[in-house]
Amino acid sequence: MSGGEEYLLDKETWGQRELLEVICSRYFVLGNEGLLEVSWHVNGRDGRGPSACLRSLNRHLKQLSLIGVLDEGDPPVLSIGRLPILPMVLPSWQQALVWALVSGFVTMVGALWTTHLGPGSSPLDSSVIQSTLLTFTLPVIGSVLLASYARLFLAARFEIDSGHLIPLAFPLLSPDWPFALVAALGQLRPDLQPVPDRRSLGLIELVVPAVLFVCGTALALLGLSLTANQPPAYEAAPIALGTNFLIEILSTAWLEPDLALKLQWIHPTGLAGIGLSIVGWGLLLPIPGFPGDRILHALIGPENMTHESNQTSLFISTLAFTLLIFLSTEYWPWLLLAAIAAWRRFSPEQMPSPFVVDEYAGLDDISMRQIGSLLLVILVFGFPGLEPSYEMEDWDEGLSTDTWPAFMDFEDGQAEIELALEPAGIMPVSGWLQMRIEGPPTGGWQIDSECLDDRGVCRFDEVTQASPGSVTINLARNQDGTLQAFRLVILIDIANHVTEHGIVLQPLGRTTSIDPLWVMVEDTDTPRICVELLVVEGDYVNLSNYNPFWSFENETSLGPGVHDLCMRGHQGAIQSLSMQDDQFRRIGPTITLSRANMSNDILFMAVEGTQPRLQVSDGEWRIPEWFESDSEYVIARGESGSAFCPSTDVIAEVNASGDWNRDLADRSAILMPAGETGNGNLRFDESGWLALCDGTAMLASFRVTEGPDVMVDPGTLASRMPNGEFSIVNRENASMPIALDWTGDAVAWDNWEAWAPSEVDAMASVTANASVHGSPFAWWAAWVTADEDGITLHFAARTMEGA
């Protein structure tokens, strides 16, 4: 430097505050200082509003990495601070990798859903993958990508660089969440991303849930239109879906009325749509950290959000919401959502609030109504229910009888019943119906229906929820007599689902029992049977009984109303009943209903559970030689329910020559050829029933119980023996003693003869006798029982005066 030039410098230099004050004064009229270090109460300069001045100021301050913020005051306070340092978003190649990974997860779930609907294929088949990419992955990923670009472009209008969304998905198909997609999240923290004003905040936060919800609704409707009307051939429990009110309304009005059916096997596109709409709805919930909470911030402003009364209301609402969810459902995604809401709302570490630059601008009424209305519409009409998806339990349960009546009235000896044929689950149902009348043997009722074939069986095929069927049954009485209640029993014979349904029909305006059978209340040596008796208005009856083995336990003079009618039997009471119904139950004691100056009625009812007994030892039973027949017949067995003959005539015939063995499972049958039965053994559990059938006509029916394998011929164990000699057959491998038991007030008379040897050898038989001489004025019964103590021949006799 040649020549010395001197420069004078001012010792007093500007600080940052003075510099910012000068800069701000170019755009605002500055007033008093605010509470913060660099803040002033301001008004706009040159007639401009504070918001317009702030935008001009921030364009200048951005070059200095500073930003000005206006609060909600009047006049507002302008505060100057450093521009937030935005964290680095993922590079484009990493974002693409994340999207590709999530697409793979979504494709896995879609392939599993596709094979769930079509069990014959594998999730890794190329055809399945191609179909899944088109019908599930593309709708899901495409909708999220559309929402991401919509948010990106909308944010750019407000000079914000928001970056793309990051989708999250589960790679597993779960009945509680089969949708794959879980959420779509932004990459930037809301407190580090300046937003011009509350309007822009509300619109930016609303756009992603709204796009997902709208796309989901459209895809759900498209998927429902692509869903077949008939169910697929499921091999496992299906996953059924629920839906929101909007989809339900639109689908019912525009597409299909069978929405509930199609939601049980919905097309993958429909699954994608429902999942997207649920995710869109969930993002709008006012949970801290969710877009819905930031939209609430935009609607009511930061001052109201942090006001003590509003905070208390939010706490109480969140607590009530959490309790309601935990009390109302076990759906774990909702429980998890409620737990997150409670934790974030009550956590001492508050979630960061959105960074709104111009709080003074507020939110005009039009924008508030637009944002608030759309938010409310989606939250209300998009509510997916307490259980949006679940695994169906009774999906293959045969025929539904929920709409079938249990009681009906009839008059004039006629009745008509129409039964709907609908599956209890979702799978097509095929099978048979058998019908029979249970009640008084003098009823004379006949069954007529167009669907009955020559064997008296009604066949139905491929009944589905979308194409149900129906059966009309006409009942008519062909003989006169006392009108009593009776039961129409319908056997529903479907593979692996055999059930029964009973319909009790009662005469209109007649005194009768409510149930057509005596109920065995105490099955002991002194049995107790009961039934409810309905005496109609204006009727008064006296009850009488002439069987000395039975006596009334209740009042016998009855007026209008429902009365319990119970009878106690002496030892041998059941065996004293000489008649039986078509199902081989014993007809109970005859009850006479007497009226003053009017005709009498008779109650003639069978006693439930009184079929002949068949004792089985060690789960094996040898067919006795007297079961031989000149014509073929069927042996059928069941573990529960009433005895019925097989509905089908396609039954495997056994080769009965020589030694043979067969296992009889529940509701199984074998065809016995005519002639010799050979040395055949049947193996089955010591319970249930065994029936001999000729087609659908029952030849004999037995209750199967556990006990020594002893039989009588003719007759059966524990049942009334005919008058005269009979054989006691010991089919055990050890000899058994025989005892004689006499009971009753008339056994000392000379009219009775009962004797048997003291013992019967193993695998041998002896002759016994129980006979009556003359015409004694007494009731009698003889029967044989066998237990681990031996064999007992019982003889009971009671005088008529004992009745």
Tens-place pLDDT, residues 166-224: 999 989 899 999 999 999 988 888 888 899 999 999 999 999 999 999 999 999 999 99
For residue 91, pLDDT over 50 is answered with yes
Tell me the per-residue pLDDT of 575-605, one tens digit each, with 9 for 90 and over.
999 899 989 999 999 999 998 877 888 888 9
Is it the case that residue 11 has pLDDT exceeding 60?
Answer: no
Please give the CATH number for the structural domain made up of 709-803.
2.60.40
Average pLDDT estimate for 455-475: 91
- pLDDT reported for residue 84: 85
Q: What is the CB neighbour count within 10 angstroms for residue 354?
A: 21
Spatial distance between the Cα atoms of 45 and 51, rounded to a whole number of angstroms: 11
Q: What is the DSSP code string of 364-415?
A: -HHHHHHHHHHHHHHHHHT---S-SEEE-SSSS--EE-TTS-SEEEEBTTEE
What per-residue confidence (pLDDT) applies to 149? 94
Distance CA(547)–CA(798), nearest Å, equals: 9
pLDDT in the model for residue 802? 44
End-to-end CA, the chain: 148
**pLDDT recorded at residue 669:** 93
Q: What is the pLDDT averaged over residues 762-780?
A: 90
The per-residue pLDDT for 773 is 87
Model confidence at 634, pLDDT cuts 50, 70, 90, reads very high
Token output for 342 = 């409670």
Cβ–Cβ under 8 Å, residues 284 and 378: yes
Compute the distance between CA of residue 63 and CA of residue 83 in angstroms, rounded to an integer.
Answer: 10
- What is the structure's pLDDT at 1? 45
pLDDT band of residue 650 (cuts 50, 70, 90) is: confident
- The pLDDT of residue 730: 95
Name the band, by pLDDT with cuts 50, 70 and 90, for residue 3: low
Provide the pLDDT for residue 443.
67
The DSSP-derived string for 739-756 is EEEEESTTTTSTTEEEE-
Q: Is 151 helix (H, G, I), strand (E, B) or coil?
A: helix
User: What is the residue-averaged pLDDT of the chain?
Assistant: 88
pLDDT for position 325: 74
Q: 404-507: what CATH class? A: mainly beta
Q: What are phi and psi of 490, to 5 degrees?
A: -115, 120
* Alpha carbons 14 and 20: distance in angstroms, whole number: 10
Give the pLDDT mean for 535-549.
93
CB 263 within 8 A of CB 215: no
Cα separation, 149 vs 114, whole angstroms: 29
What CATH topology corresponds to 16-82?
Answer: Hypothetical Protein Ta0175; Chain: A, domain 2 (3.90.1070)
Residue-level pLDDT at 803: 43
DSSP code of 351? P
pLDDT of residue 477: 83
Residue 12 has pLDDT above 70, yes or no: no
Q: For the residues 95-119, what does the mean pLDDT come to? A: 92
pLDDT of residue 4: 61
Say whether pLDDT at 361 is over 50: yes
Token pair of 175, please? 């009945």
Band of pLDDT at residue 311, cut at 50, 70 and 90: low
Angle at 490 between CA 413 and CA 697, to 5 degrees: 90
Name the segment(s) of the chain with CATH classification 2.60.40.10: 404-507
pLDDT digits (tens, 9 = 90+) for 740-767: 999 998 888 888 899 999 999 999 999 9
Give domain 512-603's CATH number out of 1.10.4160, 2.30.29, 2.60.40, 3.30.1490: 2.60.40
pTM score, two decimals?
A: 0.76
Tell me the pLDDT tens digit for each residue of 397-447.
889 999 999 999 988 888 999 999 999 888 899 999 999 998 887 667 889
Task: Please report, as a single letter, which amino acid is at residue 263.
Answer: L
Average pLDDT over residues 226-254: 87
Cis omega (within 30 of 0) for bond into 209: no
Helix (H) or strand (E) holding 311: helix 308-328
41 SS3 class: strand
pLDDT of amino acid 484: 86
Nearest to 296 by CA among 279, 278, 312, 283: 283
Which pLDDT belongs to residue 764?
Answer: 94
98 pLDDT more than 50: yes
Report the pLDDT value the prediction gives residue 234, as an integer from 0 to 100.
84
Per-residue confidence (pLDDT) for residue 790, from 0 to 100: 95
Intervals of CATH 3.90.1070 along the chain: 16-82
Q: Of residues 328 and 544, which shows the higher confidence score?
A: 544
Answer whether residue 683 shows pLDDT above 80.
yes
